[in-house]
Structure 1
């Protein structure tokens, strides 16, 4: 699927969800200033052509600036999901899975390589933003654990155990 097709599909989904209108280019520029890196191409287009957050899996990704959510992408980057500082500079929180688990996007790469972060550990997911969004649209997106398996300590949490039984 091309970037234009991904944008069209995300636009339809955003409309169904009654997501906010697109972000103004000034908001993207302000976020870039805080983050210190330019937005990956597809992500910039999604924010400025589709919606200021709300596209992607479930309730959607964080907005560029404050809208209906309390947190935005630059603020999440500044405060970070990882208090230990183990997240590389330019890897930005994008989607909050809950329970200190995030999908993050690498602003250092114009294709927007996706990363995972959980409990202070950070690793590449092996997909770019377009592939990540396609998996979300197909209902196939799951949190990307290293080697596809959560750490042993996670198997004891009821919500993880229930999800594993459903698979």
Structure 2
């Protein structure tokens, strides 16, 4: 079994055992047609590991803090699903050019207070970014949460993510690509 398969097995096991805030149960995984429909709506492909999380583990409801957002259908708390949130964020950048949302950066988990963990679907490693809008301006609202989606998942599984109380001194680094990724072309 390769490393990604082992990681998926670990995530699935923990997802069956724990519930993030607001989730009563682990939703069923989505089918390939739902992933394809989401990708068509987004205009880009999901990283293979992210697609596997949704199609093999569950349609959200697991992961750190409030857990992964569902892919297309809103969670029980009434928040938008990942695709809906992405499309809304991209549209809000058109309305407010001071707060552009980078293309291909999919919100996957809500942290509260407007903060999201997001996967950069255009990066080779599926970098996980932290969007922290309370910073006051868009250029200072983006951080590298984890260099890759596998690293982000391992941080949750092992209790080593920056958000863990035991890691009070650990802070994400600013995302250096924000300006280049949001500049008009």
Please state which band the TM-score falls in when normalised by the shorter chain. 0.7 to 0.9
* Whole-angstrom CA distance in 2 between matches of 1:12 and 1:142: 22
- 2:78 is equivalent to residue 78 of structure 1: no
Report matched runs for 1:1-167 at 5 Å: 2-16=3-17, 17=19, 18-66=25-73, 68-69=75-76, 70=78, 71-80=80-89, 83=93, 84-119=98-133, 120=138, 121-143=141-163, 144-146=171-173
Of the structure 1 ranges 41-50 and 85-94, higher mean CA displacement relative to structure 2 is found in 85-94
* TM-score w.r.t. length of structure 2: 0.71
The alpha-carbon deviation at position 131 of structure 1 amounts to: 0.3
The alpha-carbon deviation at position 54 of structure 1 amounts to: 1.7
Gaps of 5+ in 1: 148-167
Gaps of 5+ in 2: 20-24, 164-170, 175-185
8 Å CA contact retained: 1:20, 1:67: no
The alpha-carbon deviation at position 126 of structure 1 amounts to: 4.7
- Which digits, 9 at most, give the CA deviation of each residue in 1:58-98, with x for residues without a partner? 33111112154332110010112975443310011111111
- Which digits, 9 at most, give the CA deviation of each residue in 1:21-59, with x for residues without a partner? 101111111111121110001011111111111222133
SS at match of 1:6: helix
SS at match of 1:38: coil
Aligned residues: 147
* Whole-angstrom CA distance in 2 between matches of 1:101 and 1:73: 13
* Whole-angstrom CA distance in 1 between matches of 2:100 and 2:144: 13
* TM-score w.r.t. length of structure 1: 0.77
* Whole-angstrom CA distance in 2 between matches of 1:2 and 1:54: 23
Of the structure 1 ranges 76-85 and 14-23, higher mean CA displacement relative to structure 2 is found in 76-85
Of the structure 1 ranges 36-45 and 54-63, higher mean CA displacement relative to structure 2 is found in 54-63
CA RMSD of aligned residues (A): 2.2
